[in-house]
Chain A
Amino acid sequence: MNQEANDRLLLRERARPADSRLATRLRTWLLRHAQVFFGSLGRLARTPVSTLMTAAVIGIALALPTGLHLLLQNLQQLSGGWEGAAQISLFLREDTSEGEAEALLAQIRKLPEVADAEYISREAALAEFQRLSGFGEALAALDENPLPAVIVVSPGLLHASPAATEALLGRLRALPAVDLAQLDMQWIQRLYAIMAIVERTVAVLGLLLALGVILVVGNTIRLAIQNRRDEIVIIKLIGGTDAFIRRPFLYSGFWYGLLGGILGLVLVGAAVIALDGPISELAGLYQSSFTLQGPDAATVGLLLGGGILLGLAGSWLAVGRHLRAIEPR
């Protein structure tokens, strides 16, 4: 290099970066961030085992609530299907004629809440009962058919919530030809109550595990800060701002969160695949077309985004607490 040019460069008035054009400064700033961003990933890659272990802890902590949330989603889908199948049986008065029953059937079918209704005459009811109950011969001994005619009402899916079904039941019960209206909804209500508990449990568990992730990342970053204590001191000595020193640690937290999120997703995916076979087998036994749903886009986004946010929060916590304590002496 030309000695004279060197001297001119080094010995002239102190140049400041602020003198350069805005576009140059912006480009430099972006370049520095990108360097630190990928540099912190590279630093993590240099200790793959400990990085993976930390990421695995985060992944498991994230996979647990995500898996439960997924279970809940599937359960809701399943119970939604069953609820549509919930039927109201209207037992008609004995003195109702076939004609009156048919008219009633037509009237019920017109109700907006009703998807379908079916009339089972006294004779048909008896035949079915004989066939299914095994009391065929005993029934044949009776002089008279003891069974009432029945209209089976299927509520529409749009009105399938317990409250709406209950309201429909009340209206049908008030019809003059109806002797008794029955709906066994208790199990649905119980299922809803249980799901509400599970939902709350998932929320509480998720909150606790999120706190766990923050602490895990915080502790990992704390150790990284201690390991790089000398470097931090030197950077402070030559005029590095807190933001400059903080940056690589925050990006490390970002990477831990992202890696943990990806691992959590892999764990949940593996669990879904492992459960899919047995569950479709079980569903087949119930003549159900139910299949286990994997995580949807929103869940994936929440898992990865949540992981990143928790990673950042953890490193922010550690950085805020520990960087200030490191001062050059």
Chain B
Amino acid sequence: MIRFTKVTKRYPGTNDALSEVSFHMAPGEMAFLTGHSGAGKSTLLKLIALLEHATRGQVIINGQNLAKVPRRRIPYVRRDIGIIFQDHRLLYDRTVFDNVALPLIIEGFPEREIGRRVRAALDKVDLLRREKAYPVTLSGGEQQRVGIARAIVTKPPLLLADEPTGNLDPELSAEIMALFEQFNGVGVTVLVASHDLDLISRMGRRMLTLKDGRLVGDTGAGAAA
């Protein structure tokens, strides 16, 4: 599902944000990406989501070489990736319902289907009661869950999360992780960037560790902690 081959990303005038990173995640796998801030976690996720292009090396997602995706095809690649952002990235002038419905509207789902899927997704993150609320009236944790509902509402084959539990208390964090595991359980590939080592180690999943842009640790597919 995700294959990095000697991927280097260099921003002009700086050291390599990523250098020579190679790893492979099979479809249906779940892994954590960890490392100190500035180690390259965000850059790696950005490469997958086509927010950046690799300076050298090859990134293949879902069988597609991202370097060969033309500009106008980029939206269609992104539709297969549910992304959960650290800063939520919600539309603050729309209700919770409309925020979660946005990916379905973009893909042209019929109205009836949208209502059912959005409510199912909101129910999953326990925010069904707040569907008519505006994001500003929600707490940070609730906003994060709206972002999660938006990422899973189309059931994309790949789920990326950048520090999804950064604003949540431990109990809620565990719930969110359980949610990711549930999706992983039905075949969704899940890659979560997090520095919450406590939580990660308890999950017992594959762990990719970045340090100064280099992949310094990989517990390997299916490895248990």
Contact = CB atoms under 8 A, between A and B. Distances in A.
| Size bracket of the B interface | 35 or more
Interface stretch (A10-18, A264-272, A284-292): A10-18
Interface in A1-31: 1, 3, 5-7, 9-17, 20, 24-25, 27-29, 31
A136 interface: no
A210 B85 CA distance: 45
A14 B123 contact: no
Interface stretch (A68-76, A155-163, A231-239): A231-239
Contacts of B78: 236-239
Contacts of A239: 75-79, 103, 106-107
B113 interface: yes
Nearest to B50: A328
Given A1-B128, A6-B123, A10-B117, A24 B110 contact: yes
Nearest to B151: A238
A237 B49 contact: yes
Contacts, number: 102
A10 B111 contact: no
Interface string A230-262: 110111111111101000000000000000000
Interface string B103-129: 101111111010011011101100010
Interface string B151-166: 0111111000000000
Contacts of A238: 78-79, 83, 102-103, 106, 150
Given A11-B186, A236-B75, A239-B79, A20 B110 contact: yes
A226 to B, nearest CB: 15
Contacts of B107: 16-17, 239
Contact of A9 (B75, B102, B111, B116): B116
Interface in A278-329: 327-329
B110 A9 contact: no
Contacts of B105: 32
Given A236-B75, A239-B78, A328-B51, A14 B119 contact: no
Contacts of B117: 9-10
Nearest to A3: B123
Say which size band chain A's interface belongs to.
35 or more
Main secondary structure of the interface of B (DSSP, over half): helix
Interface in A177-205: none
B87 to A, nearest CB: 10
B68 interface: no
B162 to A, nearest CB: 12
B75 A17 contact: no
B32 interface: no
B91 interface: yes
B152 A17 contact: no
B24 interface: no
B110 A27 contact: yes
Given A237-B49, A238-B150, A15 B110 contact: no
A6 B89 contact: no
11 contacts: A5-B120, A6-B120, A14-B157, A17-B109, A24-B110, A28-B108, A231-B91, A239-B76, A240-B75, A241-B72, A329-B51
Interface of B: 49, 51, 72, 75-79, 83, 85, 89-91, 93, 102-103, 105-111, 113, 116-117, 119-121, 123-124, 128, 150, 152-157, 182-183, 186
Interface of A: 1, 3, 5-7, 9-17, 20, 24-25, 27-29, 31-32, 230-231, 233-242, 244, 327-329
Given A20-B110, A237-B85, 20 more contacts: A3-B123, A6-B120, A6-B124, A10-B155, A11-B155, A12-B186, A13-B155, A14-B157, A24-B110, A25-B110, A28-B108, A28-B110, A29-B108, A230-B89, A231-B91, A238-B78, A238-B103, A241-B75, A242-B72, A242-B75
